[in-house]
Structure formats: C-alpha cells, structure tokens
Chain A
C-alpha cells in the first residue's frame, strides 16, 4: 500500500480574534488534518473557539516579530504540508475541497493563491486581488523571515532554487479591509511603528519602505505615503515580486494627491516594465479624465477593457478591465455627446456588475434620448436583464408614475414594499384617497409601518382642504416612534394653526431631523406652505426667514437644489446665519451649474464671515473651475501650447487639493440640522 504523503496542517497566529476566528476555522474544518494556532496573548475567547475546532493552541509571547510567531507554529506542525491563514480570512468551498489535490501533486514545493479582499462591506462591492504563497511542504528549512510582512518564499528558494512554486488558480477571501475602522487603524499604527524600527536600521530597504508607504496610505496620510513610495522605488530591484504593485499604489497615491504630471510619467515607466497590467491603463484614464483630456482618457480606458484577464501575480482592482472602465467610458461618451455609445457602454458595465447606480445612470441617458417610460422599461428588460422590481423602482426614480403603477398592477407577487411604492406613485399623481387605501393594508407590525404612517399623514394633509390624520396616527401602536410623535405634532399644527402652545423646542430636538424630512417631502410634492409651517415650528421665535433657511438647507442636503435655492434666497431677509445662507445658495447654484452666481454668493458669504474656511475653499474652487474652463476652451484651439498645458495641470491639481480640503472641512451640508 502506498503511504499517503498528503496530510495538511493549518497554521495560524492570532490575538483577540473572537469575532473572526470562527468563520475562518469553519471554512477549513474537515479539509485539513491538523490545526496549530499560536496565540500571542488573547484576552478574549479566541483560545476557546480554537479548541472547539480541535486545534492545538500554543501560547507564545508577542515579541514584535511576525516571523518568529509563525515559525513557532511551524515547529509544532506534523502534517506533510503547511497551509497558512489569518483569522480574517476564509477558504471558499472550492479551495477547501481542492487542498488535498494540491497536496497530492508531486514535484511542487509550494502553492500560491489569489487573495480576494473586498474593500466595502456591500455585497458585490469592489475588491482587490493579489497573489500570495500560502501552502508549502513542511520542511525544517522552510521558515518565515522578516519581522513584519513575513515571507517564507526566500527560504524555499534558497534551499531549493529550482523549487516549483505554482499558482493554484484558487482563491482565499480576506476581510481585513472591511474590518471595523478603529480596529484597522490600530493595526496600521502598530505596523507603522514596527516598520519605522526596521527602517531605522536600514533606511533604504525597498520592501519596508513600500509597506510603510502602504500603511500611511491606508491612514490617509498621503504625503508621507508618497515620500516612502518614492524611496522604495528608488531602491527597487525590478525583479522583486512587489515591483508592479509598488508602481500601482504609488500611482494611486499621487493621483489622490493631484500630482498628475508625476502619475503619468510613473504609469508610462511602469507600463514599459509591466505592459500587461490593466490597472496602470485605468489609472492613466482617470488622470486624463480629471484633466479633461477626453480622447486620451478614452484610449486608456478602452485599453484597460481590452484585457480579458489579468495575470494573477498583479494586484488588481476588480472592475478595471470591465464595469468600472465601461462606466467611465460611458461618462466620456456622454460628455462628448455620443449618447448611443454611452448607453452601449453602460449596458456592458451592467453585464459585469449590476447596481442601482448604473441602472439609474442608464435611465437618465435613455430619458435624454426622449424615450418614454414604457420604452425605457422595455429596454431595461430586454437589453440588461433587469428584474421586474428593479424596473419598477427605476420608473419611480424617473418620475414615470403612471407607467410605474401599470407595472405594479401587473406584478404577480405582493409585498409591503411594493405597496409603499404604489402609494407614493399615487400621492404624486394626487390620488390621495387611493394611496391611503393601499397604505392602510400595510400591517402595523411590518418594518415598513413607520413609512406607511408617514405617507398616510402626507396623503391626508395634502388634500384640499387639509384633513385630520389624528385617527390614523392613534391607530399606530408605536409608542417610542419618532415618526408617530412628529406626525402628531404636525397634525396638531395643521388643526390649530398656532404652533407656540404645542411645541416645546427642547423636547423636540431629537425629532428635528424627522420633522425636516417630512417638510422636505411635502415641499417636493408642491406644498411649500406646509413645509414652511413645519420650519416655523422648529425655528421657534425666529420667524419666517429662519424657517425658509431650515427647510432650504435640508432640501439642499437631500439633493433638491432648485427648491433649496429658491427657499434660501427668500431666507436671506430674515435668517440668523446670513453668511451660511449665502454659502448654501452658492452650493446649490454650483450643483445647478450656475457658476457665475455660485461664485458671487460664495464671495458674499466670505465677505460676511472672513474667518470661515469652508467659504474660502468654496470661492477658490469656483475661481479654479472658471479658470479651468477658460484653459480647456483655449486648449481645444491650441492643443500643444506649453503654457496652457502647465496651467491645466496646475489648476486641475489645485482643484483636487480643494476637493480633498472641502471634505476635511465638511463642506457638504449634513441632513441633520445641528442646532
């Protein structure tokens, strides 16, 4: 009988991983022969979870050295093969099933896997991929090296320079990038201090500089990241494994910093070395797009879509060869006025990864082509494979309420969500009684009950003359619901007309947001009077001007720019924060592409309140945009002029810096009125 030499030891190092460990071990359980876990000082239930899976738990003091801890685990492993995982990783079923096949393959010393790291917690969100060596034969000489970002590959190659290291074509899921922000920050800071220690000894080390840069990049300290990327690049041996990803990440960092000239140089340099790396083309496309160099951007994105597959040893962002590039191409075609091409690109993007955002963009394009609601719905069904519910939601988004209702009526399935949308359509078509009828069917214990009540109230109040919704409100047995409380107050307001006796501002502070939501909703339904009455109620003794201001501000935050602009302009006479009002109108005008007016309002805001950084940043942004428009128009005439080119890069870069700055300063008005 042949002795099977394919037993597998899973080796891990952990500390306080109770939240992750279970998922990881579950995915391997039954597929590996032994689990060795080195615990470097957990204070939670991590060891218990490990033992529950039959793991050998080895306690080891943490000595600031990842390799040492990993090697401690290897020392205890008895299998023929080692598989290395981190607690925040998980084996997909296909990978787990194939481990034995890999272990049974003769003449291979080690296997690499593609690590798939989702970068957002939404399902189907974007992810990055990179290659990593995670399985190797258990030999005494194969030990990890490097205090941080430990590697075993050098040892394998040193022992056996012809060693076959093969790619398994299998993946490992890594959830580290979407872990809780604070936790990630702590880990990153710890890495930074370790790396700085290592660099103190050898400041020119390319790998450590790269990792330090990446850590700073994660923390958002782009300047420091840039400097260390640069050092890493200067001391890079082009043959090393992280050369390609270094170029990519350095490029992304420079892009975020707005250093466009440098990005383009770097990308071209990198493409000479890695001509099959689509992320580099995508990066160039983004730079050209920001610079308004549309033909060049188009070529770059097109190039990145021409890759049918990305070699597994490149770290790549999912979508750069597909849906993300197509979405950008669609944007370029739209800007160039070629709507048909734009539609075609969005359809391709949707085929790669459907999302409501892409669908709504498609619909906007189709609407621009003067297609009716029914035509758009037909297109969605036949060309994109959108399901019925998506089509219904999109029709609502397009304000095609009749068509939306038609579809809802033809919809065989039934749920409260559909009912709610149906009622909303009816309200928008002024069929209040029908809407109420539909809404009353929604069960009071449904999670949508609050929404239903809100809509019932709105449908009641909007009728001529206004009606009393008291009965329905009392019908809802939701004692702690802010919606019920707010609806009750607004109802009383409508009945009595005089808010002063009814409303205690302090008591209602927590409900302000809810009240403003309703105000903005009735505003968009055309009932400005009611919206302002709600506003008056909240503004207390400060009168109508303040009410205009509060409602206008809230409408702006919710994206109703035209309405917001009208209200805020009226607010100028009587509101308290005049400078802020000017600023907010400026913002609304900017959104509505009324750039001259936007600048004037921003300047007025700045003039009234010279110490407010947001105003300064906004004026600068408008000035920059105006100048950029001027430069762009000149460039269309004199493409190669060096003065124009310099100005284009300079101003685009400034715009990017301002964009980042405005984020830091919190320039987007929050929906909540922070009174």
Chain B
C-alpha cells in the first residue's frame, strides 16, 4: 500500500516573527507546505519560501474561511494538517501524526490545542486540525472558522476520532502589544455578520472577544444567548458552558452559576470540572456542606475524556487547599429548621460577608431590603437569599416583624447586613436550638469601635436575635424591644454566650456618615410623639460619633427635671458623656440613684470612680475601683457593657491611684501583672506611660528591668504618647522600636511599627487640622 501524503496548510499576514517557528515544527512530518498570504508587508512570504513552502498571494476580504479554503484548493496531499502561524506542533506529536493518516476508518481527528494563559494556567481545548483532503471538506464561518460541520454533515461525528497530538498555541499572549488591536479586528468582523447567521458558535466567539477586552457583562450576555442556541452535541458546547460559568463567577452571580452547573452536569455527565466549579460556588456562598459534597464527587471522578477543555492540574491543587477549610467548617448535625432574617440597605460592602457567615446553618435566608440603591439585594439574591422589600417607614420594629412573618422555619435568627456570625458561633447556635429549653435567646452583639476589631475597644450588648418564630415580635421605632407574640407564650428569654460581630466601622467613612443621616431622620420622624425617647436616641447618635457635648445636652433634656426611669444604658451614656466633657460633678449627681437601681452594672461604678478621681476624691475613687473588681464585668445580657471595667481596666486605674498616692511600686506591680494578659496589655502599658514622671528611670529602662524591652511594648509606648499629644516623645520611642526589632530573629513583625507610624501621623494630622478653616488643603491630606 502506498504511503499516504500530508499537506500542511496555513494562512498568514505579517507573521514574520512567528511563521518560521510554526513551519519548522512540522516540516519534517509533512510532504508539502501551502501558505496563503493575505497581504503581508513584512517578509513573511520570503521566510515561508525559504522554508520550502508554496506561497499563494491573495487579497484579504475579511473572511477567514475563504482564505483557508484557498489553501485547501492548492493542497495535493491525501490529508491536511492545518496550523496557525502562532502555533507549533509539539515535538513528540509528529510520528503519531504520520501513523494516524494511514487510517482507513476516520475522516478527521481532534487534536489538543494548549494555551498558556497569564497566570501560567494551561488551558487545553480539542480542535479538528487533521482531516482528509476532500473537495467537500471546506471551512465555514468568516471568523473562528470550523471544518467540523462539513465533515459531520457527510460522515457523522463518529468519523472523527481523538488522537494524541498536541499543538502549542502562542497567540493571545498578554505581553504582545497588538492583542487589543487583534481583538478589535475580530470584533469588527463579528459585528459585520448578518443577523440570520448569528448562531451559537458566533455568539460564543463574540462573548469570548468581549471577555478578552475585560467586558464581562457583554461577554455574559452573549454566552447566555449562545447557550440557548447550542445543542449539547456541538463541539464547542463544553467550553462554552465553562466560560459562561467562569464569567458568572467573576461577576459573583453564584445562584445563576449553580443553576446552570446543575443543569449541564446532567448533560455532560463525565465533565468533572463542572463539579469542581459547583463546589467553588457553594464555598463562596458559605454553604460548606454542599461544597464538600461536590468537591468529593469531583475528586472521585475519573479524568474526563479528552475533548473537554480542562484545567486538571490547577483544580487538583486548589482542591488540596479547599478541602481542609471545608472539613473544619461543615456542620454535620441534625437540628430544627432555622430561618435567618437579614435586614439591610445599601450595605453592599458587607452583605457578602454577612450571608457567607450564616449560609451553612440557615435552611432559608430572608433578605428584607429597605430601599437600597446599591447592589446589596443583588448580592443577597446571588448568595441564595429570598428577597423581599419593605418600604422604610422609620420604624425598625415594623421591618423586623415583617421579616419574621416571612420566615418559614421553626427558629429565626435576626441579623443586620453589617453584622456577621463569627465561625465558632455557627455551631453553638445549632447546638442551642437542637434541644432548646427556652423559646428565645439573647445573643451578645459585639460592636467594634474602630477598624482594628480588637476586644480592647468594643462594647457588648445583649439582644434577642434567636427565637421560635411564633413566640416573639418586636416593638418600638428605634430602641426596639422584644415582646411575646401571644400573651403568655414564650417560655422566658435567656442569655446564650454566643457572639454576633457588628462591623459598622469597617464601612467607608462616607457610608457611615450617610447611615447616620438616615438614623437621625428615623429618630426625628419616628419618635416625634415621644420627645423624651427621641432625645435619648439622638444623644446616643451623638455619643457614637464622639460628639460628647451634644450628647450630654440631649441626655440632659431627655432626663428633664424629673427622675426618668429610662433604661440602664441611658445612665452609662450620660455619665460617660459628662466625663468626656469634663463635668465630673454632674456625673456623680446623675449616677447617684442609678447605681442604687442597677447595683450590678459595673460600668456605672467605674464611671463614678473616674468622676471622683477627677474631683480629687482619691480615697472614694479607690474604694469604687475595688468594688468594680469585686463585681467583675457587668452582665452584657442586661446592660451595655465594656469589657474590662470589672477587671483589668479597674485594676490599672487602681494602679494609677496608688501611684498618685505615692505608692509607685504597688502601682507598677499591678501594671506588670496586667501586662501578661493579652487583652490588658495595651491598657497596662498605657498606665505605665501615664505615670512615667513618677518612675525613677526612663520608661525604656523600666521596661528593660522587667524584661519588657521589646518591639511590641515600645511600639505601644509610642502609640500611647501619640494619643496623649506627645508627638516628639512618641517619635523617640518609635525610633527605639525600630532599633529593637533589628536584633530580633527573623521573620520580624514590622506591622506593630508601621501601625504606630500610621497612628502618630494620623493623630497629629487630626489634631492639627481642628483649628484650621474648612477649606484648608491640609484637611484633604491623608495617609492613604
């Protein structure tokens, strides 16, 4: 039998840089080389001729298929190998190729085209590049031309086999400069396609070009249309599905992605990537159990047939990272159904975190939107929430009750969109409702007062957030409280030691300011009928933005001349505002009866102690701090509580008093003891700095004598001094910290130093701009 011959066919235009690489890679395995040149102005043709190619010159008329078909007209071999100039034949593939063309069974072969993408990810896709030279096999489509339809039409899909030949594609290298021009040229050709010819393949290509331009939304639009027009049997189907999913994920549209994935898993049953992608979507949504199931399924599947585009290596390594996270986050227990009700408005920055933190334990998520103008409802929807809207009527209780009324499960957990459930709280909630002895629970809402999320600067407050759906309702426009839904029902509320983190201050400043405006409006409108309550609420607002002067006057007006029996928190807020405005006498008057009424509210005694200290009643102050220590921290389920007032904060204050009285040693003993407790560290160092004049040696010597001369403590000293407005001294200790860290063994933690630098500069700037005019250019200055 005579050996069959092979023609290499190519089209080229200005490919002088790459054509030699391509021809040389295949030269040894083909019998002739046909290059159709569509108008090169460089020396492409000369290079091709030198390498033995037959060059045919043609004018370019915006039609890739036409050009390719011209090369086919000139080919005399029994088989055609078609390559692009930016491709090369893998070294090992030549002999396979020769053997394959001896076949009498097949009309064409799928070979694998591999791309190396930006992040060194290998993307492989099958393509028919080797086929018999028949007059009836011609390319179709002006761009992204295909030969497959012609072959399949005549001989059926079974006439095309897979072959172990690899072609390396060097195109789309983001480092080459004409990529954008190429994309634009492609788009131009595509957009000139007549409407009736716009089929699935066309739309797929259009989407891909948009994707390359970074236009994800346009890409998605075209992909989704393409999916509708594509039959599962079409060769580009799997890659279209995968690209669509990748685009959906990039746009955070997890819900749609999961729906599509679940559908296509029934079509391409052996395409394991689809299970990995589903796992990834569930993971992003916080549905860890579902993610784990999908990931296990993916790991247990055999490698997919070669015609699927695949990223095996990449997925395998990320599976290794993902699995341990899933294993620790999965909750594998039986428990009653839980509806999580989330109320939010314009919280797009935090909605994602909020939903991700509860999805694992929620049987349903109800998201009630009160008038967002941003993407937060869309985010919630894509994370799987049921979406409702409730027009804002300046009443918090109404909104919450609306959300509760929609809940379908036995238990309800209430969250705001700027709150998250810390990891350890998820399992505790499940355990609690599994065999609940009560109908409702107060959870501990921990509000962080700055962006460091440190427990030294936060306050706790109990709030009824977890209860049986039909037992409780909310009441009150602003300061809502919980009341039994059916009188007599609701077997008591009790506190559960479970935290919710309130991340209010993580939002951008402008956002916080806007929220404050809404809140003020709500207070003024919603509480107009009750000026006393209204002034209290306004005071709290001023307090939280540290405007203690205004806060104090609102509280005073709320108190009036009678003895108002308001909530205990009122006295904390009022007392704290008075202290901060330098009015200890009034503080004492206000707190006098309150401490009798709330004898277990440590914070009030703490404030009293400070007020006495400020007035010079050192002895009384000392007794009160001691009392705080005996009491311990106030019960957060009853009061707004600041951690430490019954512990290290009181202790350090006592130390300061001892120092004041001349007993410096006793004071230092206390501080040094407190330094050992992580949450008290900062306070203790601050106390030492506060009495630095009373030390017999400079602070750094004192620290050294006590084995504390290290970068964290000295950085803290620097920070304390900056807060006290002692910038020059602060800088001195910063420099010392900089020296100390050099003698530490690597890796060194420079964050403590850079944070102190930030604080020093920010503090000075903040302090310095206060007296400057509103339009001072210095006000625009910031460190970031």
Given A237-B181, A620-B761, is A650 in contact with B742 using a C-beta cutoff of 8 Å?
Answer: no
Residue of A nearest to B756 (CB): A627
Complex: A611 Cα to B765 Cα, angstroms: 13
Name the contact of A620 in the complex, choosing from B178, B181, B738, B764 (C-beta under 8 A).
B764
B 280-321 to A, binary, CB cutoff 8 A, 1 in contact else 0: 000000000000000000000000000000000000000000
Residue of B nearest to A647 (CB): B754
Return B778 CB to nearest CB of chain A, in Å: 6
CB distance A616 to B757 under 8 Å?
no
CB of B777 within 8 Å of the partner chain? yes
Name the contact of A638 in the complex, choosing from B734, B746, B751, B769 (C-beta under 8 A).
B746
Chain B interface: which of A62-70, A510-518, A523-531, A598-606? Answer: A598-606
A611: chain B residues at CB < 8 Å are 771-772
A638: chain B residues at CB < 8 Å are 746, 748, 750
Return B13 CB to nearest CB of chain A, in Å: 15
B 720-740 to A, binary, CB cutoff 8 A, 1 in contact else 0: 000000011001001100100
Within 8 A of B (CB), among A594-633: 599-600, 603, 606, 610-611, 613, 616-617, 619-620, 623-624, 626-627, 630-631, 633
Within 8 A of B (CB), among A650-675: 650-651, 654, 657-658, 661, 664-665
CB distance B734 to A627 under 8 Å?
yes
CB of B4 within 8 Å of the partner chain? no
B184: chain A residues at CB < 8 Å are 237
CB distance B181 to A661 under 8 Å?
no
A230: chain B residues at CB < 8 Å are none
CB distance A664 to B777 under 8 Å?
yes
Residue of B nearest to A610 (CB): B771
CB distance A623 to B754 under 8 Å?
no
CB distance B761 to A239 under 8 Å?
no
CB of B753 within 8 Å of the partner chain? yes
CB of B776 within 8 Å of the partner chain? yes
CB distance A273 to B177 under 8 Å?
yes
Name the contact of A624 in the complex, choosing from B178, B738, B761, B778 (C-beta under 8 A).
B761
CB of B784 within 8 Å of the partner chain? yes
A664: chain B residues at CB < 8 Å are 777
Within 8 A of A (CB), among B319-340: none
Interface residues on A, range: 35 or more
CB distance A634 to B783 under 8 Å?
no
CB distance A650 to B772 under 8 Å?
no
CB distance B734 to A237 under 8 Å?
no
Complex: A651 Cα to B181 Cα, angstroms: 39
Within 8 A of B (CB), among A351-377: none
A272, A613, A619 pick with most chain B CB within 10 angstroms: A613
A273: chain B residues at CB < 8 Å are 177
B781: chain A residues at CB < 8 Å are 620, 654, 657-658, 661
CB of B175 within 8 Å of the partner chain? yes
Within 8 A of B (CB), among A474-508: none
B 442-467 to A, binary, CB cutoff 8 A, 1 in contact else 0: 00000000000000000000000000
A180: chain B residues at CB < 8 Å are none
CB of B697 within 8 Å of the partner chain? no
Complex: A647 Cα to B756 Cα, angstroms: 11
B757: chain A residues at CB < 8 Å are 627, 630-631, 647, 651
B741: chain A residues at CB < 8 Å are 634
CB of A646 within 8 Å of the partner chain? yes
Complex: A634 Cα to B771 Cα, angstroms: 35
Complex: A58 Cα to B778 Cα, angstroms: 53
CB distance B761 to A616 under 8 Å?
no
Return B53 CB to nearest CB of chain A, in Å: 26
Given A599-B728, A616-B769, A630-B753, is A641 in contact with B748 using a C-beta cutoff of 8 Å?
Answer: yes
CB of A398 within 8 Å of the partner chain? no
Residue of A nearest to B734 (CB): A630
Within 8 A of A (CB), among B757-784: 757, 760-761, 764-765, 768-769, 771-772, 776-778, 781, 783-784
Complex: A559 Cα to B181 Cα, angstroms: 55
CB distance A626 to B748 under 8 Å?
no
Residue of A nearest to B174 (CB): A272
Within 8 A of A (CB), among B696-736: 727-728, 731, 734-735
CB distance B764 to A619 under 8 Å?
yes
Complex: A611 Cα to B784 Cα, angstroms: 24
Interface residues on B, range: 35 or more
Within 8 A of B (CB), among A234-249: 237-239
B 163-207 to A, binary, CB cutoff 8 A, 1 in contact else 0: 000000000000101101100100000000000000000000000
Given A627-B760, A641-B750, A647-B754, is A606 in contact with B181 using a C-beta cutoff of 8 Å?
Answer: no
B181, B184, B754, B772 pick with most chain A CB within 10 angstroms: B754
Given A606-B768, A627-B760, A644-B754, is A238 in contact with B180 using a C-beta cutoff of 8 Å?
Answer: yes
Interface residues of A: mostly helix, strand, loop or mixed? helix
CB distance B175 to A623 under 8 Å?
no
Return B749 CB to nearest CB of chain A, in Å: 8
CB distance B754 to A610 under 8 Å?
no
CB of A643 within 8 Å of the partner chain? yes
Name the contact of A630 in the complex, choosing from B177, B181, B735, B748 (C-beta under 8 A).
B735
A613: chain B residues at CB < 8 Å are 772, 776-778
CB of A637 within 8 Å of the partner chain? yes
CB distance B764 to A238 under 8 Å?
no
Complex: A238 Cα to B181 Cα, angstroms: 7
Within 8 A of A (CB), among B607-651: none
CB distance B750 to A634 under 8 Å?
yes
A661: chain B residues at CB < 8 Å are 777-778, 781
Given A237-B180, A599-B731, A626-B731, is A654 in contact with B783 using a C-beta cutoff of 8 Å?
Answer: yes
B768: chain A residues at CB < 8 Å are 606, 610, 616, 619-620
Return B703 CB to nearest CB of chain A, in Å: 19
Return B181 CB to nearest CB of chain A, in Å: 5
Residue of B nearest to A614 (CB): B778
Complex: A195 Cα to B764 Cα, angstroms: 42
CB distance A644 to B181 under 8 Å?
no
CB distance B772 to A623 under 8 Å?
no
CB distance B727 to A623 under 8 Å?
yes
Complex: A122 Cα to B778 Cα, angstroms: 35
Return A205 CB to nearest CB of chain B, in Å: 15
Complex: A600 Cα to B757 Cα, angstroms: 18
Given A238-B178, A627-B760, A633-B738, is A643 in contact with B727 using a C-beta cutoff of 8 Å?
Answer: no
Return A331 CB to nearest CB of chain B, in Å: 26
B783: chain A residues at CB < 8 Å are 650, 654
CB distance A617 to B778 under 8 Å?
yes
Complex: A630 Cα to B714 Cα, angstroms: 14
Return A248 CB to nearest CB of chain B, in Å: 16
Return A244 CB to nearest CB of chain B, in Å: 11
A644: chain B residues at CB < 8 Å are 750, 754
CB distance A643 to B772 under 8 Å?
no
Name the contact of A603 in the complex, choosing from B178, B728, B750, B772 (C-beta under 8 A).
B728
Complex: A258 Cα to B764 Cα, angstroms: 21
Give the top 8 A-B pairs by smallest Cβ distance, nearest first. A630-B738, A643-B750, A616-B768, A647-B754, A273-B177, A627-B757, A610-B771, A643-B751
A interface residues (Cβ-Cβ under 8 A, vs B):
237-239, 272-273, 599-600, 603, 606, 610-611, 613, 616-617, 619-620, 623-624, 626-627, 630-631, 633-634, 637-638, 641, 643-644, 646-647, 650-651, 654, 657-658, 661, 664-665
- Known: A237-B181, A616-B768, A643-B749; 12 extra A-B contacts, CB below 8 A, are A599-B731, A613-B776, A613-B778, A619-B764, A620-B781, A626-B731, A627-B734, A627-B757, A633-B742, A647-B757, A657-B781, A661-B778
B interface residues (Cβ-Cβ under 8 A, vs A):
175, 177-178, 180-181, 184, 727-728, 731, 734-735, 738, 741-742, 746, 748-751, 753-754, 757, 760-761, 764-765, 768-769, 771-772, 776-778, 781, 783-784
Query: Can you list 23 residue pairs at the A/B interface with Cβ under 8 Å?
Result: A237-B180, A237-B181, A238-B181, A272-B177, A611-B771, A613-B778, A616-B768, A616-B772, A619-B768, A620-B761, A620-B764, A620-B765, A620-B781, A630-B738, A630-B753, A641-B750, A643-B750, A644-B754, A647-B754, A647-B757, A650-B783, A654-B783, A658-B781
